[in-house]
Homo-oligomer: A and B are copies of this chain.
Amino acid sequence: MKSEIIAVGSEMLTPFRQDTNSLYLTEKLNELGVTVAFKTIVGDRRKDLVNAITSALGRADIVAIMGGLGPTEDDLTREAVAETLSLALHRNAAQVAALAARAATWRVPMPSNNLKQADVLDGAILLPNPNGSAPGQWLDLTWQDYRKLLMLLPGPPNECRPLFDAECLPRLREILPPRHIAKRVLRAAMIPESQADKLLAPIYTEYKDVETTILAKAGDIQLTLLCSKSNATNAQKRVDELADRMEEALEDWLYSSNNESLEQIVLYYLELSQSTLAVAESCTGGMIAERITSVPGSSRSFLGGAVVYSNELKTAFAGVPPNLITECGAVSKEVAEALAFGIRRYTGATLGLGVTGIAGPTGGTELKPVGLVHIALSDAKKTDSIERTFRGDRQRIREWTTQQALDLIRRRLR
């Protein structure tokens, strides 16, 4: 079963607002085994609404329309559905009474345009809305083997979500065959997206019944495996089997089998090995510490660190010899290693991380271009480092560097 969610409201076509109800509905629909194949956002223009509803009915079995059920002139969802399906609207007497009663409790005279909220599509069931004045509508369009389900839901999240749960979910459950969705999320670090796909495509394409989604961020790949079956055990078995094979193919790029973040995994390994970590960051400027400390309980293994933006602080907080900076430059293998060694010694941590680089947009030279970073790790036995050149703007170079640094720690501890 395919569904489409239509969010109605011109404010969601500005640069400032986004629909969020659809995320909620998607989760609920997925749990019923219903895929969301399309989401459409459309403004408060009747012609556009008719167009969107027509498209949706042409390509989806279940259509949820959110918004445009209020009393104002801009609220046109009822009228647009009526036009699209050539259905009449009739004014529901009980609903008129309910609106009048509601206005009475607010002690305001009811504006006459409020009455349009009592207009019901022929054949539709009114869905009571305890949190607002506009009821929802449920329309089951069945002609022989053609069947479309249409839901009209109010736009405000505090009305839309409870109404969907109370009125639509039970009706959908009654109609739909029982489905069970199994899910796994794998994550891998620092593998190029194309390389990951080359490794994995031959595997996941064998599993037509599992939907695999690859999501890539700076140095991070997230693989979501979803399988929907009438039998829960079978669905889980398929997902787990595919996950196992993918994990094997990803080798040590894989860092999580259950969607933990890289910083969670690093902290997990630190705890497991009873190690502690301290960091000395130059170009990342606190981003590594920020990611680690975003995890609750990180204080158990993370001592802290230094943001050594100036050369003087590289010396003061991590004991980097000033002449080393003069001779090799602040962005050098030597200074990165001195930072890692120094921060470990100064803090008494088991592991010290040192990062220096050129985040740009200025400060690059031919020999040391923007994006060049040195990342060093120091423990009781050794201090060594890697060199990378990352592309992109300042933000992106800092994100890639942070990811690479965390991955370096993971690989050392594993």
Interface residues of A in 271-315 (CB under 8 A from B): 278-279, 281, 284-290, 292-294, 296-299, 302-310, 312-313
Determine whether the beta carbon of B194 is less than 8 Å from that of A133. Answer: yes
- Residue-by-residue, is A87-105 near B (CB-CB < 8 Å gives 1, otherwise 0)? 0000000000000000000
Pick the contact of A16 from B205, B213, B292, B306 — CB < 8 Å? B213
Give bound CA distance, A106 to B195, whole Å. Answer: 12
Interface digits, A1-22 against B, CB 8 Å rule (1 contact, 0 not)? 0000000001111111110100
Beta-carbon contact of B215 and A17 below 8 Å: yes
Q: List 27 A-B contacts (CB under 8 A).
A: A12-B39, A14-B26, A15-B23, A15-B30, A18-B23, A38-B42, A38-B48, A44-B213, A51-B55, A51-B58, A71-B194, A72-B193, A72-B214, A111-B198, A114-B194, A284-B290, A286-B286, A286-B287, A286-B307, A289-B307, A293-B307, A294-B394, A294-B395, A296-B360, A298-B309, A304-B309, A304-B317
Q: Kindly list chain B residues whose C-beta atoms are within 8 Å of the C-beta of A114.
A: 194
The interface residues of chain B lying within 8 Å CB-to-CB of A294 are 285, 394-395, 398
- Whether A251 sits at the interface, judged by CB under 8 Å, is no
Chain B residue contacts of A38, Cβ below 8 A: 13, 40-42, 48, 51-52
Within 8 Å by CB of A72, from B43, B111, B197, lies B197
Docked Cα-Cα span, A292 to B20, in Å, equals: 25
Cβ of A385 < 8 Å from any Cβ of B? no
Residues of B within 8 A of A285 (CB): 289-290, 292-294, 298
State whether the Cβ of A158 lies closer than 8 Å to any Cβ in chain B. yes
Partner of A111 from B36, B42, B195, B214 at Cβ < 8 Å: B195
Contact-size category for A: 35 or more
4 closest A-B pairs by beta carbon, nearest first, are A285-B293, A286-B289, A286-B286, A15-B27
Which of B303, B306, B309 interacts with A310 by CB under 8 Å?
Answer: B303
In the complex, chain A residues 202-245 whose Cβ is within 8 Å of any chain B Cβ: 205, 211, 213-216, 224
Judge whether B224 and A11 touch: CB under 8 Å.
yes
Q: With A15-B23, A40-B40 given, is the CB distance from A158 to B215 under 8 Å?
A: no
CB distance from A213 to the nearest CB of B (A): 5
A177 at interface by CB-CB < 8 Å: no
Chain B residue at smallest Cβ distance from A38: B42
Question: Contacts A11-B224, A37-B13, A289-B286; is A304 near B310 (CB within 8 Å)?
Answer: yes
Contact B313 A304 (CB under 8 A): yes
* B contact residues around A258 at 8 Å (CB): none
Chain B residues in 8 Å Cβ range of A123: none
Whether A290 and B287, one on each chain, are in contact in the complex, defined by CB atoms closer than 8 angstroms, is yes
A201 and B293 form a contact (CB under 8 A): no
